[in-house]
Structure 1
Amino acid sequence: MRKIKTIASLYNESKSIADGMHQMSKGYLDAHITQDENLLLADLATDFNNITCLLNNYIREITHVISHLSAGDMTISPDPNVHFNGDFIPIKNALTKIGNSLKDTFGSISQLSHQIDSMCARLQQSSNTIAQNASREAQMISDISKTMTDITYKTVLNAKNAEATSQYTLEAKKEAETGQEYMNRMLTSIEAVQASTKDIGHVIDIIHNIASQTKLLALNASIEAARAGEAGNGFAVVAEQVGTLASQSSDAVKQTTELITRNSEKVQESMEITVLAAQNLTSILTSVDKTAALSTEIAEASKDQENELKSISEIIGTLSLSEQDNAAFAMENAASTITLLEESNSLKELISHFRIREDYLIKKDKQQDALYEKNLMKELTGLVAPVSETPDMDRLLSDYIKNRKDLECIYVMDENGIQISHTILHPMIQTENNIEFKPGLPGDDFTSKKYFRQAILLKGDIYSSFDYISGATGKLCRTISQLYENKDGKKSVMCADISCIF
């Protein structure tokens, strides 16, 4: 009989251990065997519990590290209080190596991002300055080009005017030469008139002598007529008439002499004026010769200047095009720099989502977290305890979560693991594009979830999971759960997913 009891106890203990092993095979690492109920296989039960506890700690720590790394916390490292033994040591080393490598890599990327940002800022400033200077230089060159065009036009016009002036000067020279020739001929003519006047003077002198002799002859004739008496009366009359004619001739000669003298003076004056005019005309001709020579030189110099200005205008035109290209390139570089700066800012924004410096790490206070969880659950259970219908729960939870940015979602299950409320997500969480996430609905079975099983086992105490990656947001979160009673005395499990800040 005693053997039968021993066999029965052995069977029951074996079955208890087998059930635990079965739960482990399904992945429920929180399976536990009560050692007080196992007397014959107590050591085996102890080893089983040690294995589940050890695996639980390992899985919890591995999940904790990987979840933080996945969420961008590169400062996470395995908890030194969790001792990895045996074949699990390489896993811990690998986790440590991965964390350090990612931390160093993202640290280098962050430093490089700041360097790129600084260089982009300086490059943008330089590019803007270059672009502005190039634009101003292009405008200045354009203004110079316009000025050179005007100068070239005026120079060409001056060259044409100088050429025309040279031509007019040559024509004036020809006219001056013709005038000088006429002046010389006039001078010769006046000299001839002067010589003729002198000849007339000589003739007048002869006539004057003849008149004087005639007058003397008349006087002698009168004397001889008087001696002859009456016989000489006729001859006396003739002598008187001859004397009168001689006197008139003498007066005429005197008047003529006076006229010839005045005419000779005028001829002399004309001669002097003509000589002066000829001298001035000679000076004018000399000046015209010099002016013609200078006009020719100016015309030739203007031609050369015109060609040089055209060459300068072509050079300025080429320089203007080059400067415009430089300005365009500078503006393009400035735009590229802005784009690069925007990309650098995007990279910084992306890097900012990763925690790479332990200085920024927010240290967790377990007591503070426990108090936070206790107050949260007190509010939630107190809120829904008076109701038992799904619509009422959903309405109350929806109103509550609107003002709680620290919560991702809230949901309620009955004591059998069946969800009795909808999963109430925070309004800021968008899941339309997340095809892998499906929020729980009333009627879904969650008996396999650890947060449910632990809430049942803890019988009113709060269960807090390790940090993990949320399926709704892809960020770190943790789930807390607690068993409570509603107004009808029915037991339910309140669950809340809390956003984790690292």
Structure 2
Amino acid sequence: MSIRTLVAYGASVMMALLVLIALLGYSRIDEIRMGGPLQTKSQQASDLVADILPPPEYVIEPYLEAAMLARNPSELASRGDRLRKLRSDYDLRHDYWLKSDLDPALRKKVTHGTHEPATQFWAILNDAFLPAVAANDRAAIDDAFLRLSAAYDAHRAQVDETVAAATAYQSELNRHASASLHASMIMLGVLAAGLLALVGGFCMLILWRVVRPIRKVAAHMREMAAGSEVIDASDAERSDEIGEVARALQGIVVYVAERSRAEGERQLAIQKQVVSALGVGLSRLKKGVLHHRIAEDFPADYAVLRDDFNEATAAMEQAIQQVRKSVDSLNCSANEISDATDDLSMRTENQATSLAQTATAMHQITEKVNETADASNAASVTMRDAEQSAIDNADVVHNAVAAMGDIERSAQGIAQIIKVIEDLAFQTNLLALNASVEAARAGEAGKSFAVVAEEVRALAQRSASAACDIKALITSSVAQVESGAVLVGKTGAALEEIMGRVKDVSHLIVRIAEAAGEQAQGLNQINTAVGNMDHMTQQNAAMGEECNAAARLLSEEADRLSDLVGNFELGDASVRMRGGMRHAA
């Protein structure tokens, strides 16, 4: 069986199994899906329960309407319309369940068990109860309502039985759906396992019958690419496509081997010719004969090799000629470099000595400038302290002037108080005088009062005299305080002028210190530069010695190179250059 047939059969079996699984799964899932047969029957049972508990298939609402009419017959018009609507709804739903595909036993309970007492209920309602209500006959109403209640009780009993039966039927449907779903899942699992096993077996078959032989063929082809002429012929006996490929590879190996053998013999003859000519040329090059050229005709594939050899020898001959000329120039240049380096070394040593002396002098000058800068900085600090002291003294003088002003204002206040005291003494003196006059008028009875008045008058006079003395002292103090305030103000002005001068001097010293610092910094940089120049000059002197030694070594190497170049035989001269060609160093 060929691989193509094997793959076609396997694919057909797998597709058929997949179709079978799809159809079976669809059938089982369609049975239990929402909207399927089981779910539809379950929904019908739920609709049945909804229709009989409560109306329209349950006559509890018409019974309530009848009870309300029994209590209040005057509402016959409105409730009569409601009862006719409920009867119409009941008939519609009854017709629906008569035509439904519900379970026959359950449908019989709905269409016969609950319907018969309901029919009696509607007959009594329409034939007896409503006419009695219309006639407002209480006895007939009560009798008809009792018969309605009996019919309702019978209907209610049938409704309860029907609800229980519908609930049991719905539970049975649910159990059947669960069992069917479980069985479907098991069946799908078994089919999936079978499909997995079939796919696994088919894959193993493909690996064994297709992949493994193809890998062997690929390995044989890699061996052929590496030059092998022997391959495994076990797959050539197979009757499928792999066998055909193996047989074709054997044919290719045989063809390639024969073609390679013939081509190898031809190439071997050509290579012998080429190697012989190249061997002669290389032997001449080994002996130093650079003007040798290969004049033989080479095959087209090797003509480039002959041309490259001839061009290489020509280029080498030209290079050796240039080297010969360069060696002569190199000897002369080496002697000139040696003389120049000797002169440069001597000048560098003299310059190094001068720079060392200059560096010593610059170092001493830098130390003096640094000392000047330090002194200027110290003077600047001292002047800043003096400036701060002057500022503090100026603050003290300003405070003294303010205190003198306060004393002057206080003295003026005291003078006003003394003036008040003088006025009081004057008034007291007048009162004492009036008291003395009144005591004199009183005669003997006013003598003691006259004595007191005299004492008060004397006391007022002494108070006035003391107040005048104090006023004179206060006036003198105020004058002295004003004079002191003027002097203190002049002192403050003088201190402010001194402080301004101190600030100017401080600024000048700061500028001097900054200039000295900048000079010291500049001299330090010059000193550093001179030191670096001294160090570089010494290095230049050492490098000059090294250059001198290198120039002598270069001259010696040029002599050796001249001897080597002399060993080559060039086309323009057959005479070899020999040793002994030297230049005076």
The bucket for the TM-score relative to the shorter chain is 0.3 to 0.5
Structure with greater helix percent: 2
Structure with greater strand percent: 1
The higher radius of gyration belongs to 2
